[in-house]
Amino acid sequence: MQFEKIKGLIDAPFTPMHPDGSINLDIIPAYAALLARNGLKGVFINGSSGEGYMLTEEERKQLAEAWMKAAANVKTTKGEAFKVIVHVGSTCVKQSFRLARHAQEIGAWGIGAMATPFPKIGRVEELVKYCEEIACGAPALPFYFYHIPAFNGAFLSMLDFLKAAEERIPNLAGIKYTFESLYEYNRCRRYKDGKFDMLHGQDETILPCLAMGGAQGGIGGTTNYNGLCLTGIIEAWEAGNLERARELQNFSQDVIDVICHFRGNIVGGKRIMKLIGLDLGPNRTPFQNVTDEEEARLRQELEAINFFSRCNK
């Protein structure tokens, strides 16, 4: 099957929550509009940034439906349709199948799944079988494997995965590659003259992937609040302005350095959304929420790098 390859950056949104921890669907239209006007091409919902594994199946469906409604009312800065990709991975493959089927029923652009964290997947054959049973729930949609071994321990060769899966998963579109090996990323990108859509998944290394030639799309987490900078890297590269691209990449790393002081993007990044005017609420247990004291320090560290003059508006 042939699918459109993503060009530009897709955002991995946080799941908005009320103070009591219930999901907040009402804020999603404003969230979608913010992302669209800051250069993002769509969203990859219910993934790691969205605390997907801590949501109920019904909540995940409600979020998918809310994002689909919101996406219908916004366009990208280039006037394109705003894409909604639904992460459907879970520890229960039958639940993942149902979530995939639901995504297709509501008209989502695509689906994706990371490897289950339990039981840990230790062989490529196990991973292919897992993805095969999920992807067939939405046979008309592009399926992306979400490679993030730091979350699930599936430190497997992605090139071997592509070779083993391409004949068994007809709707396999590619991989969201969130791992440090740019060598392996590029091997997968070059496989069969670029057959698969290799979505770059680390905001801190966009420029190196562009420099290797061929990287066109990515899915990011810090794009929630720093999308202007990250999309700017691509724009500067395409314009031949390497110095500007380097400056933007370095700034994006400065931002990541800050969130690493506050338990990373899922916790610290979600609180940044409040600081830029879109309060998405708390994180779910077992995440430890940012305290008021930490929030003050977070603001100070961001001010020190002039973040608020450059962030998403």
User: Among the options 41, 61, 83, 176, which is catalytic?
Assistant: 176
User: Among the options 53, 130, 146, 225, which is catalytic?
Assistant: 146
pLDDT in tens, 282-304: 999 999 999 999 999 999 999 99
pLDDT in tens, 37-87: 999 999 999 999 999 999 999 999 999 999 999 999 999 999 999 999 999
- Cα–Cα distance, 59 to 54 (Å, whole number): 10
Say whether 176 is catalytic: yes
pLDDT of residue 311: 97
Say whether 146 is catalytic: yes
pLDDT, mean over the chain: 97
pLDDT of residue 214: 73
pLDDT in tens, 114-168: 999 999 999 999 999 999 999 999 999 999 999 999 999 999 999 999 999 999 9
pLDDT of residue 13: 98
pTM over 0.85: yes
Does position 213 have pLDDT exceeding 90, yes or no?
no
Residue 195, SS3 per DSSP: coil
Does position 215 have pLDDT exceeding 80, yes or no?
no
Residue 39 CA neighbour count, 13 Å, CB half: 22
> The domain at 8-241 falls in which architecture?
Alpha-Beta Barrel (3.20)
